[in-house]
Amino acid sequence: MTRHKLVVLAVVAALGAAAALWSTQTRKPDTDVPAAQPLVPGLQEAINDVSALRIVAPGNNTVATIERGDAGWTLKEKGGYAVDTAKVRDFLLSLAQARRIEAKTSNPELYARLGVADVAQGDATGTQIEIDGLAQPARLIVGENVQRGAGTFVREAGQAQSWQIDTNLAVERAPAKWLQPEIVDIAPSRVESVSIRHPEGAAIEIVQAPDDGAADFVLRTVPKGREPESEFAADAAAGLLSGLRLDDVAPAAQADPGETKVTTSTFVIDDGTTLTITSWKAGDKTLARLAATLDEDKAAAFVEQAQARAAREAASAAAAAQGAASSDAAATAPDETGDAAAADAPAPASTPAAPAVDPAADREQRLAAIRDGVEAMQAKFAQWTYTLPSYKASNLNKTLEDYLKPKA
Q: Express each pLDDT in 143-166 by its tens digit.
A: 999 999 899 999 999 999 999 999
* 4 belongs to a structural domain: no
pLDDT of residue 356: 66
Distance CA 152, CA 98 (A): 10
Number of domains in the chain: 2
Q: Are residues 38 and 126 in the same domain?
A: yes
Burial (CB < 10 A; 0-12, 13-18, 19+), residue 192, is middle
Q: Where are the alpha helices (DSSP H) in 28-103?
A: 85-97
Contacts 24+ apart (CB under 8 A), 231-236: 233/403, 234/194, 234/206, 234/403, 235/188, 236/395
Q: Are residues 167 and 198 in the same domain?
A: no
* 301 belongs to a structural domain: no
Q: How far is CA 273 from the centre of its chain?
A: 24
Q: Are residues 135 and 268 in the same domain?
A: no
Q: Are residues 212 and 111 in the same domain?
A: no
* 158 belongs to a structural domain: yes
Distance CA 368, CA 293 (A): 14
**Integer-rounded Cα radius of gyration of the chain:** 34
* 151 belongs to a structural domain: yes
Q: Are residues 106 and 206 in the same domain?
A: no
Q: Are residues 58 and 118 in the same domain?
A: yes
pLDDT of residue 310: 87
Residue 352 DSSP label: P
Q: Are residues 388 and 241 in the same domain?
A: yes
Q: pLDDT, tens digit, for every residue of 169-206?
A: 999 999 999 999 999 999 999 999 999 999 999 999 99
pLDDT of 83 > 60? The answer is yes
Measured in residues, the chain has a length of: 408
* 73 belongs to a structural domain: yes
The average pLDDT across 271-299 equals 98
Contacts of 47 (CB under 8 A, 6+ apart): 89, 92, 93, 96
pTM to 2 decimals?
0.81
Q: Are residues 156 and 197 in the same domain?
A: no
Distance CA 105, CA 164 (A): 10
Out of 141, 156, 178, pick the residue that ends a domain: 178
Listed residue (262, 288, 277) closest to 199, CA to CA: 262
What is the end-to-end Cα distance of the chain in Å, rounded? 107
Q: Are residues 137 and 86 in the same domain?
A: yes
Domain of 397 in residue numbering reads as 182-296+374-403
pLDDT of 241 > 80? The answer is yes
* 18 belongs to a structural domain: no
Q: How far is CA 200 from the centre of its chain?
A: 35
Distance CA 273, CA 192 (A): 10
The average pLDDT across 381-408 equals 96
Q: How far is CA 131 from the centre of its chain?
A: 22
Q: Are residues 278 and 386 in the same domain?
A: yes
Q: In the structure, what pLDDT confidence band is assigned to residue 100 with cuts at 50, 70 and 90?
A: very high
Distance CA 270, CA 289 (A): 22
* 157 belongs to a structural domain: yes
Out of 144, 160, 178, pick the residue that ends a domain: 178
pLDDT of residue 26: 41
Listed residue (230, 191, 192) closest to 214, CA to CA: 230
CB 152 within 8 A of CB 144: yes
Q: Are residues 195 and 137 in the same domain?
A: no
pLDDT of 236 > 90? The answer is yes
* 216 belongs to a structural domain: yes
Q: Are residues 127 and 198 in the same domain?
A: no
pLDDT of residue 20: 44
Q: pLDDT, tens digit, for every residue of 334-393?
A: 555 555 555 555 555 555 555 567 889 999 999 999 999 999 999 999 999 999 999 999
Distance CA 208, CA 227 (A): 17
Listed residue (223, 371, 183) closest to 294, CA to CA: 371
Instruction: Give the count of beta carbons closer than 10 Å to the beta carbon of residue 75.
Output: 22
Out of 178, 199, 216, pick the residue that ends a domain: 178
Q: pLDDT, tens digit, for every residue of 115-145?
A: 999 999 989 999 999 999 999 999 999 999 9
Contacts 24+ apart (CB under 8 A), 67-74: 68/133
